[in-house]
Amino acid sequence: MRLHTALLVLTCTGLACGPALPDSGGELYLSPYLQNVTPTSITVMWETTGAIVGTVEFGENDRFDRQATDAEARTIHEVHLTGLEPATTHIYRVRFGDQVLPPASFTTAPPPGTPNWRMVVYGDNRSNPATHARNVEQIMKLDPGLVLNSGDLVAAGSRYEQWKTQYFDPLRGLAEHVALFPCLGNHEQNAIHYYNYHSLPDDQGEVYYSFDYGNAHFIALNSNGRDAPFQRGDPQTEWLIADLEAHRDATWTFVFFHHPLFRAHATRGVTPQRWVWQPIFDEYGVDLVITGHDHYYMRSHPIGNYRGEPGRGVYHLISGGGGAPTYPMAPKTHAAAGRRVHHITAIDVTGDRLVGRGIDLDGNEFDTFVIDQQAVPSPDEFIAYEIFEIERDLRAAVLELPVVEVSDRAVEIAETVRVPSPFDVPIRVTVIWNGTDGWIMPPSQSAVLEPRSTLEIPIRARSTGADLYPLPTATIEFRQPDGSKAFRNDTIRLEGLRVVRAQTVRAPAMTGALRVDGVLDEPGWSSAQRLNPLVSVQGDALAAHQVEARVAHRDGWLYVAARMQAQPGVVEHGATGRDNRRALSDDNLRVVLAVNAQVYVFIVSAGGAVLDLRLAAVASGPGRPRRMLLSWNSGFTAATTPTADGWQAELAIPVSQLWADGAELGINLVRHDLTPNSALCVTPDVVCDLVNIAELAPTFGPNALDHRIPMYSSDPTAVDRFARLVLQ
């Protein structure tokens, strides 16, 4: 608890001890709740509307024969009860002014080394108190010894009132009986309220901390990189290493923090702490990492370094179903189980074996897992961490390759990507090119990669002058030297051809007037320029749902018409209205214009919501897209209508306001297809997945890895690869 005044507590036997209480004072604001339970102590906290001295009376066997008292009047009360017996139930009640609160009970932590005990973990309860309260009801049924929360306790930590409505009120019935151990999420905003409302082991100012319970050691970290740097040499990571070293003898080691290192989100990328913390966790034998941030349930297979055979590895659990809206998921090789559901996770420890259970709001157990410290995972279960490192380095190497311009004539590509091997043992690597009609690719190649040597992948390709798309890809397989399976994640998909179609979009002058109503019945559309079929961002797949688009111009306006195939329901359930941010995540069509280096985006969703935005001139950080400026408005209009197999749209963009004679004008057309959650582009060599602008890292984004190596990042500001737009 961060308070500028000293906190002193008097503890005694007999109720006559301690300073006299005022006859009146503040009213109760937050009901009592428990913090920092140990075998011999616990902390009771509550809040009153006015400053007043408070007292906790407590004892065993229904006798209130001891008390601890605030040393001074205060509003947030933090009273430490000490000298308790381990694994013992105590009764207590809170007094302040002339008020005596109803009694409650707690049980102290068991003696160190106790093999059998239960905890519950969950996170991301923010924003939805009713759902949070239902999860709390399920926790209460389990009667755990302690509860971990992996962060995002409230939607905005700087807003004082949210701590009561979103966090503490739903916890009533549980928090006065069981101690809660949280960690910082991004929504806490590192606000002072988080520190004032918690009493945690505070050697590091409660930003990160550790404690013991039973036969386990717990470590809480702060994964908000801006507030708590995490690189080797930074205080938090050096403290982490020292703490792990000092507790090697613990039977179990649990680490919890907010942002997951290995996830199953449909669009979010890699948390950068992965590259620093996971090797440390593996080296020091961390058993389970507990996180949130992604609002779903996911548990991983064991992840660790491969040393010729599977090791124990580190398990990762995302339990982010505390109450915030759930998120979409995507299959991941490292995920053993997952479900998009509000939930909690119960964990029962029995010696060197634990059983975990995912439990939904109705008390149904939807997943059960076992971690047995004596069991060794099979190759079908073990996830080799080195593959993630190779994937990361391959991506960087591919993005360094030169871009080759491809036209109707045949072109040859001869490049080689090289990355260091992180394996300490020999590994057989096989590269298999998956050719397409428009390309001639080399045969498959296989060789044994020696420990800590260099992996070289030659890229030899020749276009035939036929269809450019879809582009060929390669499958890279990693096996034992004799060809047998070594680990589960033994395949990487490589998209290594960095090619650009030499393309100019010529928009003719439209004849006749145009009414933007989404009907597409004006005769002028028949003479408009028809655009190429849309393909995936990386150019490796044609659109599952076809898009037919045309462009034209008239009187300083650029007009775009498009017909989109779509699944039923995207129109009826889509957003409506102007400047509606929901248009970003709905099924939508986006026209991206570049005037020299300035990028503008014009979006219409299937339901008719329209949104125009300008990208800031400077990116928000390394590897991140430019910040969107939603306050910018251009006068852009659009309309949509449903069709038998999807929807259609008309857009009118005041291009004369954006473009001056002599400026380079570029265009890309992007369809965000909601059903497969993919982006399709008219010029796929352009990085055009603007899901980024909705503050979601796209599947092929700067940080988005997990065994698919893209040709391009997903920065929508890569204007040098836009198709050239000519207004005829």
Provide the β-strand partners of residue 54: 96
| Sequence-ordered list of residues with C-beta below 8 angstroms from that of 509, at least 6 positions apart, any chain | 552, 553, 554, 727, 728
Cα 601 from Cα 581, distance rounded (Å): 13
Total Cβ atoms within 10 A of residue 364: 11
3-state secondary structure of 147: strand
Cα 32 from Cα 174, distance rounded (Å): 10
- Residue 582 gets which letter from DSSP? G
For the stretch 261-317, pLDDT in tens is: 999 988 788 899 999 999 999 999 999 999 999 999 999 999 999 999 999 999 999
pLDDT band at 125 (very low <50, low <70, confident <90, very high): very high
For the stretch 673-725, pLDDT in tens is: 876 555 544 443 333 332 222 222 233 334 445 666 655 554 444 444 577 88
Given a cut of 50, whether residue 353 has pLDDT beyond it is yes
Rounded to a whole number of angstroms, the CA Rg of the chain reads 30
pLDDT band at 511 (very low <50, low <70, confident <90, very high): confident
What pLDDT score was predicted for residue 576?
Answer: 82
Given a cut of 90, whether residue 583 has pLDDT beyond it is no
Strands of the 365-372 sheet, one edge to the other: 179-182, 146-149, 116-122, 343-350, 353-360, 365-372
For residues 79 and 691, the model is more confident at 79
Percent of the chain with pLDDT over 90: 62
3-state secondary structure of 241: helix
Nearest to 426 by CA among 449, 445, 396, 442: 449
Is 703 in contact with 272 (CB distance < 8 Å)?
yes
All domains in the chain, ordered by first residue: 9-107 (2.60.40.10), 116-377 (3.60.21.10), 403-500 (2.60.40.2310), 503-727 (2.60.40.1190)
For the stretch 413-444, pLDDT in tens is: 899 999 999 999 999 999 999 878 888 899 99
- CA-CA distances (angstroms) from residue 80 to 6, 90, 711? 14, 14, 58
Q: Give the pair of three-digit tokens for residue 582.
A: 């929901």
For the stretch 224-270, pLDDT in tens is: 998 999 999 999 999 999 999 999 999 999 999 999 999 998 878 88
pLDDT band at 575 (very low <50, low <70, confident <90, very high): confident
For the stretch 326-341, pLDDT in tens is: 998 889 999 999 999 9
Angle separating helix axes 385-399 and 274-283, nearest 10 degrees:
160
For residues 479 and 620, the model is more confident at 479
Mean pLDDT over 576-595 rounds to: 85
Q: In 3-state terms, the chain is what percent helix, strand and coil (to 5)?
A: 10, 40, 50
What pLDDT score was predicted for residue 13?
Answer: 37
Nearest to 220 by CA among 193, 191, 180, 248: 180
Total Cβ atoms within 10 A of residue 350: 11
Is 316 in contact with 261 (CB distance < 8 Å)?
yes
Percent of the chain with pLDDT over 70: 87
What pLDDT score was predicted for residue 332?
Answer: 93
Nearest to 698 by CA among 680, 685, 725, 682: 680
Given a cut of 50, whether residue 370 has pLDDT beyond it is yes
Total Cβ atoms within 10 A of residue 517: 12
3-state secondary structure of 708: strand
- φ, ψ of residue 186 to 5 degrees: the values are -70, -30
Total Cβ atoms within 10 A of residue 189: 18
**Hey, what amino acid is at 259?**
H
pLDDT band at 21 (very low <50, low <70, confident <90, very high): very low
Least confident segment among 62-66, 368-372, 623-627: 623-627
Full DSSP string of 252-292? EEEEE-SS-SS--BSS----TTHHHHHHHHHHTT--EEEE-
